[in-house]
Structures are given as structure tokens and as C-alpha cells.
Structure 1
């Protein structure tokens, strides 16, 4: 038996409870991992609360991330004692995930924990930070350079936004942070933002084209915010879209793309190939300031996760939540 969050659903209710779980709940897989640390991302909040149909099988252990130690392996790449991490691959949605002390998964889904990070630090980064790195890499691939002008980060107080600001600042970019919580401006400038704007400047319906401002954008919000970000991106700029906290709709036009040559880059972290994952984590090990990571991280116990999931969806959580399980690093 091991401790974890188990989600169940029947005609009467949708429940997510912290409880003792038997190994028979774990699905098939060729590697078993004792989990030291996990995390809470926006998708985990949706899964735990049932606000969206994230979970596709029941019962389900949520958690799209984990870091821990291999305790059993029938996979050629992994042996007992290896330190590993996992992001995505449907874990916590269709395959039991990381908000428990044990997981059984496909070895092909794992990557080695970078030597530069403890398991706790890797989960302070988590899918949010890994996604932020994918966004930065997309802007770089498109040719957006630090000297090209301001880079906008929306949903700046969240996990993706916080890590994106820290990364961009470390790389020399001029970062503008958009947030609905202007009282957190000192936190955002501490991470490296040079300017903080209220999200209301971008969240209302806008025009197909606005005044050119951004050399690049990392958007976690979607809907009107993404549309307005595209409409105000400079000629030849790029927008990396990775979130939908404001909605899945995209009330825009083709004008920014065909009149200004703006590129909209869709960022998927769930099914990214192994080589892309390894490159992103390698860059995180090189380019993320661990002091800033610590400043944006709050450690919580597993028992706190269900209540925090509600706060996360309500936009009341700053930065990253790292969940202590066995606590092994």
C-alpha cells in the first residue's frame, strides 16, 4: 500500500481523496518508480476538481509530473536506483500519474534526472517550467533575439509565466509581464520583468491589428489575450501559445499573419519526442537561475493538494507548487 490521491466517479459524485492505494490500481508498465516529489499544474487542478474532462479512466491517480527512483525495471534503458523524471504522455489522464508515492509507467516515457537538479528542484520546474523552456526555444528558433525588442509573457504569475520570465531575463531579453494581480508586481520584477502591465490591456475584444510592440510573446491564456498579442506583435515576430486559462477560443483574424508575417507557434509538452525533452531539460539546467526558482516555489504536503487545486484554477496561486511524497531527492 502507498499514499496518493485517487479520483473516482460514479452516478452520484466525482471524488478526489488522499488515501492508501493498493498496487493493483497501478496500470501495466515496464518500470516502477518510488516517487519523491510531484507538482501541481493547471491540468492537475482540472483533473482533481473535475472542472474539465481531463481524466479519461477511473479510478485514476492524477499528476502529470513526477521525479523519483527506479525500484523495478524490465526496460533496457533503466535499472534499479536510477533517478528519473516524467512529464506528460497522458499520465494523470489515461494512465495513473505522479500524485502518489508509487508509479508504474512505460520506460520510454522517462528521462534521466539532470545531475544539476535534485528531484525537488526538477518538480519545482515540472511541466510548467519545461513548457516555458519549449516556448523560449520556439522563439529562438524563429530568430527572436534579445536585442529585437520587448517580449510579452501573459499569465505571468502562474507557473509557466514565472519560469518564462526567469529564463528570458537570464538570456538577456526585455520582458513585459501581463498579470491580473498587479499587487504581485514586485514578485515579477524580482524574477526579471522590466515592466508589468494589467491583463485588462489585452483581455477585452480588440482590433485585427494594433500598434506594433512585441518582438515575441509567450502566451498561457488564449482567447482575446492571445488574439490581441498577435495583433500587436511586430513585423516578423513570433508568438508561442501554450495555454488556455482564458478560454480555448481564438477570436482573431489572419491579418497579423499575412500583413505582418507574424508566426503563431503551438507548443505541446505532452507528446514531445524524447530528443526535444532532453534538449529542453538540458537548457533548463544551463539557463535557469536556481535562486529565482526557489523564490517562485512553495512546498506542500500531499494532503493539501485537493484544496490547492481549487485555488490554482481560481488564479490564487503564485509560481510553482511542489508536492512532497516520499521526499527522496
Structure 2
């Protein structure tokens, strides 16, 4: 059952999406998306810089008490999103943990397909290691398509065997299966105000291009090797078409012996944590993220 605060969030999302037409430019859509998710209530300190000409942002708690470094990968269907749209979420995580969060603007569609975003994610991870941050202190995190990139990064690290695995993995409403095989893509269609199957099919096709099959683990980590994953937390709303991505990934990881926690949030929508200022569940989810990261890095 939805609540008035959640209804207001959904109405705001629908107004933004409903204002777009076939003639709306990608630049306008990106600007609208940044405004939709932005907030003036950012408690963390921010510092912009570049890694190999890639725009990056440190988001630091006012008092850093935890050695964790969160490498945060924003969502947006590989077409939208930025360190601006996700600054509030990164700030909430940084303050909940008492740590530093690194966000970055990976290359986007339509100009850059797979594997460009994954390559950029590897560049950011490699940079953190080169700065001397221990792999066991790094938690790779992401939402939606960014959650898929976070899980895909671990598959890439496993294949290349040149760099250590991170100390933890945090996935918020992750897109983990570009084949869209889960029943929830149909069963949750009327409940999800953000995503629909046809739109995701188009995005998957655009992102993958002709370079790979959609069940390639670097595109769909659900089909990868999920043994020996670092401690993992997945948060997902039960109103999401992608719910089964999280459920199936969690089940497969558990069957493979990996330590994973799956948290399904009643009545919640896609990446509801971005609306923590308005939603009680969003605030509670951020608190649980903080507890998970502190416990993961301290072990």
C-alpha cells in the first residue's frame, strides 16, 4: 500500500518522464534527471577532480570515522545519470557510514556502448588501488544499471585475475539480467512507475550492440560465477519489475557459498533510497547500508 509521501515521489517522477517527447534531446533529459534527483540537503563535503579526463567527485562525511571507501556507480539506464543526480545519495551513504565515497561520470549511450562504461568503472577501481587504498576497504556500490556495472566489475576482475576483489558489494535495485528473464518483468508491470519491459529491452539492445550476447556475464552478471563473492547487500523494492534480478542473483550466490544479504522493501519503488528525505523506508535503508559497510570493513 502506497503512502502520501510515496505518492508525491511517484507523481514527481511521472511529471518528469511525462514531459519528454520524441523530440526531447538527450541533453534535456539528462538535465531534467539531475534536477529530479537533486537536493540542497547535502551534509557531506564534496571535491571535484578528474581521472584520465573522467569527471569524478569525492563525497566525504564531515567526520570520517571509517576507513571504507565506497566506489559508487550511478544508475540511469546507461543513458542518464551523473555525479550530480546521485550526489545526495552518495552524501547520505557517506554520512551514514562516516566514510569517503567516490563517484564518477562513466561514458553513456548513445555515443558509448558496452564495454565503455565497464572500462571506465575498472579505471576508477584501478585508480583507488593505485592511490594505496586497500582492496579490502573498498566497497563497490551502484544502483540500477550502476548496480549491474558493480556486479559486472567483479566478473571482470575474476576473468582478468590481475587485481584483487573489493571488500564488499552494495547493490540497490540492480539490473543484473539483460535477457529480462524474471517473472517480475511482467507481474510487477502495473506497480512500477519507473521501468517497463519494452523500454529495458530497447536499452539492453542499444547498450550491448552487436558485440556480445545478452547473457554475457559482463552484461548480465546473474549468469556469471558467483562463488567467493565479497560480503554483499542487495536492497530492492517489491514494486519493481526487476525484483527477480535481485532474488535470482541472491539465491545463486547463496547456493555458491557467497555471503549475501537480500532485503526486499514492502511497497517500495526503484532506488527508493534516493528519496530518503521523504520516505521513512529510504532513511531506514540508508541506516542499514551504513551498518553493513562498517561491519564489512571492520571484519
TM range, smaller chain: under 0.3
Q: TM-score, normalised by structure 2?
A: 0.28
More helix per residue: 2
More strand per residue: 1
Using CA pairs under 8 Å that are at least 6 residues apart, name the structure with larger relative contact order, 1 or 2. 1
